[in-house]
Amino acid sequence: MAVAGGKRSGLSIMVVHRLHNMDARRPGRIEAWHGEGVTRRRGDKEEQAMKAAVIERPGRLVMADRDPVEPAAHEVRIRVMASGICGTDLHIYSGDYLGTYPVIPGHEISGIVDAVGAHTSRLQPGDRVAVEPNIACDNCRACLNNRQNFCENWQAIGVTLPGGMAECVVAPEKAVFPLGDVSFEAGAFVEPLSCVLHGIERTGVRLGDRVLVVGAGPIGILLTQTILLQGAFHITQVDRVPERLSMASQCGARDTERSVDALPDGEFDVVVDATGVPALMAETVRLTRPGGTVLLFGVPPQDAQLALEAFPIFRKGLTILSSYTSVRNSLQAVRIIRSGRIDVAPLVSHRLPLDELEHGLSLAESGADGAMKVQILPNGAPEGV
């Protein structure tokens, strides 16, 4: 998930309010919440507290009980069934990315609608859904020009607003999409796949193209499968981890390599970096053919510098692109997952309870124990995850 910034002080105040006071916004629906937390008494009414993982500050994560969240008029409340760990979560945890503290992380979310606000119209309690975490105002200059990913009043669930590493989360109805019979496990891929779809749309991959994807983590594998849907003739994938390259081959990569050093100059019509590692990003210029396209998709560290050779870019006439979140690609993502044309099931390596989030972050960071996509199941593993 790539995200835009905001003023930290004001957002921090808002996040604290959302964490502690949301139950006061619309009382009377709390009986719909069926969490396993402790019971609290508010006045003459008992309420069930929800469990949440809170990053209080960079490097410090605690488990906490929070008052159940009540949806506002245009919001729905979701019982979270799966929440994927993303590189963005790692950056927020380490403090080298956008985010406000304290925050409940988690933006790759699927679950069951548990309560709806008074002015909602599409969704009902019991609906199986996925969440688009980037919330645009729909009224600023960027939004009015259909650039909602650059909204000037941007907010994001799991970044500036409480996220999916909790038993429940609220989201605007406009950012919630029915899953139908898609499993919760697959539904938690709607957000990352929507970002991938937007990125590949920007590249204009054509029928018969030769494409290089650098990186074979979960995002790299989603990129490969999406590029195949666009009609590419041949995909080469690079990663240091043999097991990831094996998965890349199973998911459509024709050739695999352990290092970009093994690849010839100017071989590829399109080169996609999925690592965010500046040294690898710089190699894309050498590897792309004259007139080709480079997509810098991976998220680099916030203070990283990128050194590119200027003359080869000029001489080759390259198109160099980046990609930032998505622009209304969630329905596409749901439909593609439902069709089975992109298979996300092999990408899930670990399924952990909420109180093991810190261990999950460690696995995702290190890649230990064959980690690919690590998912947190805040309400336990349902049937047909």
pLDDT in single tens digits along all 385 residues of the chain = 543 333 333 323 233 333 333 333 333 232 333 444 444 444 444 557 899 999 999 999 999 999 888 999 999 999 999 999 998 899 899 888 777 899 999 999 999 999 999 999 999 999 999 999 999 999 999 999 999 999 999 999 999 999 999 999 999 999 999 999 999 999 999 999 999 999 999 999 999 999 999 999 999 999 999 999 999 999 999 999 999 999 999 999 999 999 999 999 999 999 999 999 999 999 999 999 999 999 999 988 888 999 999 999 999 999 999 999 999 999 999 999 999 999 999 999 999 999 999 999 999 999 999 999 999 999 998 765 5
The answer to whether residue 292 is domain-embedded is yes
Model pLDDT, residue 114: 95
Instruction: Name the residue with tokens 């859904």.
Output: 129
**Are residue 172 and residue 210 in the same domain, yes or no?**
no
Amino acid at 77: R
**Are residue 41 and residue 158 in the same domain, yes or no?**
yes
Whole-angstrom Cα distance, residue 117 to residue 119?
Answer: 6
Q: What is the dihedral of CA 84, 88, 89, 95, to 10 degrees?
A: 180
Is beta strand 108-116 parallel, antiparallel or unpaired with respect to 128-131? antiparallel
The answer to whether residue 334 is domain-embedded is no
Model pLDDT, residue 18: 38
Whole-angstrom Cα distance, residue 177 to residue 86?
Answer: 20
Q: What is the dihedral of CA 124, 127, 129, 133, to 10 degrees?
A: 20
Model pLDDT, residue 303: 85
**Are residue 236 and residue 139 in the same domain, yes or no?**
no
The answer to whether residue 385 is domain-embedded is no
CA 154 from centroid of its chain's CA atoms? 16
**Are residue 136 and residue 156 in the same domain, yes or no?**
yes
Edge-to-edge strand list for the sheet holding 319-322: 255-257, 234-238, 210-214, 268-273, 288-296, 319-322
- Assigned token pair, 337: 């997952």
Question: Could you say which DSSP state residue 311 is in?
Answer: H
Model pLDDT, residue 165: 98
Is beta strand 373-377 parallel, antiparallel or unpaired with respect to 348-353? parallel
What CATH number did the domain enclosing 231 receive?
3.40.50.720
H-type helices in the chain, by residue range? Answer: 8-21, 87-94, 141-144, 184-187, 190-203, 218-229, 242-250, 278-287, 310-316, 330-339, 357-366
Residue 383, Cβ density class (10 Å: 0-12 exposed, 13-18 middle, ≥19 buried):
exposed
Whole-angstrom Cα distance, residue 294 to residue 285?
Answer: 7
**Are residue 209 and residue 179 in the same domain, yes or no?**
no
The answer to whether residue 331 is domain-embedded is no
The answer to whether residue 337 is domain-embedded is no
**Are residue 153 and residue 29 in the same domain, yes or no?**
yes
What CATH number did the domain enclosing 83 receive?
3.90.180.10
**Are residue 242 and residue 261 in the same domain, yes or no?**
yes
The answer to whether residue 51 is domain-embedded is yes
**Are residue 204 and residue 312 in the same domain, yes or no?**
yes
The answer to whether residue 332 is domain-embedded is no
**Are residue 350 and residue 246 in the same domain, yes or no?**
no
Range of the domain at 302: 196-322
**Are residue 229 and residue 313 in the same domain, yes or no?**
yes
**Count of structural domains, the chain:** 2
The answer to whether residue 34 is domain-embedded is yes
pTM tops 0.85: yes
**Are residue 136 and residue 29 in the same domain, yes or no?**
yes
Question: Could you say which DSSP state residue 232 is in?
Answer: -
**Are residue 158 and residue 235 in the same domain, yes or no?**
no
